[in-house]
């Protein structure tokens, strides 16, 4: 295996860079050594792995299949090396978390502050994205854990349920006449609706709920952040769909009020997501202990 590993490393860098000279540079080898290693692999498998072209090399169909496996093993080996480095203690290292802007700001911020105070030597990396993006970050080894809305059904992932959230429709003083009455979905759709533009869990859930009642939910305005959802509703541009826990301040000071509906909106849960069967770094383990109260 020792010798094979070196050959696969050469193959990985040649495939990744599309260039034998770049692979040689990355591995501190000569270009003839790289060519020889690839020839050894091609002889062993009995078919070519690369096409040579004027710009460098590109993978054959067989080479592409091999690369899909070698890339995964390369990610695992890189992760193993990083985990070993992080095992020393929490005086150094890093904690990489994926999640949405709104969950970072409205849910994770106090935990991040507490963690940073306890372990100032650990660098924090926050990767922002939608739930599908955060799942991809986790599987690619770019983050240690993800904080996302549930449900998540994926055999590769372990999800610890954390807090419950309740989404609702809110409006500003411009729509004060609607305060107190329970609106039907039909009446609600008579007003301009403001939704989060990205393909978020909350957006999918509310669209599906309206469909189950036979309505199509088409927003008049779409915005790219929760802060804008809140701001647009405050200024009277329409009725926004937001998470109640993220607008407690506005609901208390009266700059927003909740629109009551004659149907029940389902709650959603936040989950802390990690790779199943993959050991956690000390920093990730400590952070989960802070945030997760079963």
Global pTM value: 0.61
As averages over each run of 10 residues, the pLDDT of the chain (294 residues) reads: 78 94 93 94 94 92 94 87 67 83 87 90 89 90 91 88 89 91 91 85 85 91 89 94 91 93 88 88 86 68
Fold of 2-86: Arc Repressor Mutant, subunit A (1.10.10)
- The fourth-level CATH superfamily of domain 94-165+269-291 is Periplasmic binding protein-like II (3.40.190.10)
Among 42, 38, 32, 48, smallest CA distance to 9 is for 38
**HEC profile of 140-202:** CCCCCEEEEECCCCCCCEEEEEEEEECEEEEECHHHHHHCCCEECHHHHCCCCEEEECCCCHH
Give me the CATH code for the 167-266 domain, please: 3.40.190.10
Q: What is the predicted pLDDT for the residue at 220?
A: 92
Are 97 and 144 a contacting pair, CB within 8 Å? yes
Helix (H) / strand (E) element for 270: namely: strand 268-275
Are 202 and 196 a contacting pair, CB within 8 Å? yes
DSSP-derived letter for residue 107 is I
Which residues of the chain are in CATH 1.10.10.10 domains? Answer: 2-86
Which residues of the chain are in CATH 3.40.190.10 domains? Answer: 94-165+269-291, 167-266
Among 136, 95, 117, smallest CA distance to 288 is for 95
Q: CA-CA distances (angstroms) from residue 52 to 14, 49, 60, 152, 248?
A: 11, 10, 10, 43, 61
Are 261 and 188 a contacting pair, CB within 8 Å? yes
Residue 23: both structure tokens together: 């692979």
Q: What is the predicted pLDDT for the residue at 1?
A: 42
How many Å apart are CA 80 and CA 100, to the nearest integer?
27
């Amino acid at each position: 295996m020792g010798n094979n590993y070196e050959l696969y490393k050469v193959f990985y860098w040649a495939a990744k860079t599309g260039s034998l000279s770049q692979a040689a540079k990355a591995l501190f080898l000569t270009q003839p050594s790289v060519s020889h290693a690839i020839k050894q692999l091609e002889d062993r498998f009995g078919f070519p792995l690369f096409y040579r072209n004027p710009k460098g090399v590109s993978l054959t169909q067989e080479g592409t299949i091999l690369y899909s496996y070698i890339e995964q093993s390369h990610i695992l080996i890189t992760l193993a090396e990083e985990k070993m480095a992080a095992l020393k203690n929490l005086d150094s290292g890093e904690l990489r978390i994926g999640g949405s802007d709104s969950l970072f700001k409205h849910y994770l911020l106090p935990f991040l502050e507490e963690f940073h105070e306890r372990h100032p030597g650990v660098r924090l990396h926050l990767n922002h994205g939608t739930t599908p993006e955060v799942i991809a970050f986790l599987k690619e080894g770019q983050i240690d854990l993800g904080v996302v809305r549930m449900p998540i059904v994926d055999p590769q992932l372990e999800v610890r349920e954390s807090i419950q959230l309740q989404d609702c429709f809110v409006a500003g003083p411009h729509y004060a006449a609607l305060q107190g009455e329970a609106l039907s979905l039909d009446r609600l759709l008579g007003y301009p609706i403001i939704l989060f533009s990205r393909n978020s869990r909350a957006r999918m859930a509310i669209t599906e709920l309206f469909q189950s009642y036979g309505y199509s939910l088409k927003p008049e305005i779409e915005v790219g952040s929760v802060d804008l959802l809140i701001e647009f509703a405050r200024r009277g541009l329409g009725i926004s769909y937001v998470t109640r826990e993220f607008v407690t301040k506005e609901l208390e000071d009266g700059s927003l009020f909740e629109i009551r509906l004659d149907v029940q909106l389902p709650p959603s849960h936040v989950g802390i997501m990690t790779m199943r069967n993959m050991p956690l770094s000390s920093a990730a383990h400590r952070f989960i202990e802070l945030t997760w109260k079963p």
